[in-house]
Structure 1
Amino acid sequence: MQDVWYVLEDGRTVDPNECSTDEGGVLRHESGVAVKMRSPGVPLSRGVDAAKERVKADRAEARAKAEAEAKAKAAKDMKPGEGNPPYKTR
């Protein structure tokens, strides 16, 4: 089954139910990215398989979360070694 979804400025396709206009009248996704416009007042849309797109979005979200956790762990693990002799100049 095909649904019609909006195309964002960064190329992602999103459910129109997740989009709304901001204070300036710009149509934006919940993430803050603007919807690409075909012409003034007409959003660019594309026919997609909604189930596949949701799975793809969930995978991308899980991947981003895992990368953020890995970066946080790496930052936490980085500390100077203890017990090393002090640096001596010549």
Structure 2
Amino acid sequence: MEKVISMLCRYLLTLCTVAYAQVTPPQVVTCYGTLQGVNESGINVFEGVPFAVRPVGANRWRAPQLLQVWCRVCYSRFRIASRRQKNR
């Protein structure tokens, strides 16, 4: 009887571990802060990761500016639409 209970406990612990692993999104720590992505079919995906300050306003025609360190988690799970130019 003790053997059956032990096996059942191990099985339940394995199920809980697998369920937690599937719910927890992947995170990566960079020199700028923590990025959080998504797991798609067993592959960790990080899309829309910022690599420079956005080129708006005074930065419009300047060289790319380095990012500042961020304190919160940066969510990189949103797909960015590609900006394709039309052939003329």
TM-score (norm 2): 0.33
- Using the size of structure 1 for normalisation, the TM-score is 0.32
Instruction: Answer 1 or 2: which has greater helix percent.
Output: 1
Which protein is richer in strand relative to its size? 1
